[in-house]
Amino acid sequence: METIYQFFASLDIFQVLINLFPSIFQPIADTLKTIFTQLWSGLESIFGHNPSIIFGILISLAVYGTYNFLQYLRKTRSLPVKK
């Protein structure tokens, strides 16, 4: 009696599908690589010409983080008062 592995190995459709996958996914991978390369070069030129954008983002994140941290401390320090 054949095992499942031998049964699937005897079918030609699985060999075709296995060999088909690289040719299907290669154009998709090349397209994604091209898109990310163009996005990276675009962002690189934007930040290269305007370095103040990075500092603005960092200052905004610092203010937002500080505000959220203070709100968290306020919530954890408040104790319910029993009457």
DSSP secondary structure letters along 35-78: HHHHHHHHHHHHHHH-THHHHHHHHHHHHHHHHHHHHHHHHHH-
Question: Rounded CA gap, 39 and 33, in Å?
Answer: 10
Give domain status of residue 82, yes or no. no
CA distance 7 to 18: 16
Query: 9-38: per-residue pLDDT in tens?
Result: 666 666 666 677 777 778 888 898 999 999
Position 18 in a domain: yes
Q: Report the pLDDT value the prediction gives residue 14, as an integer from 0 to 100.
A: 63
Please indicate, yes or no, if residue 44 is contained in any of the structural domains: yes
Domain extent at residue 60: 9-75
- Flag whether 36 is in a domain: yes
Per-residue pLDDT for 42 more than 90?
no
Residue 51 reports pLDDT greater than 70: yes
- d(Cα 54, Cα 62) in Å, to the nearest integer? 12
- The mean pLDDT value of the chain amounts to 80
In the chain, how many domains are there? 1
Question: Of 25 and 67, which is predicted with more confidence?
Answer: 67
pLDDT(1) > 70: no
Domain contains 34: yes
Phi, psi of 11 (to 5 degrees): -80, 135
Tokens of 32: 């994604």
Check residue 83 and give its pLDDT.
63
Mean pLDDT of 65-80: 82
- Domain membership flag for residue 25: yes
For residue 30, is it within any domain?
yes
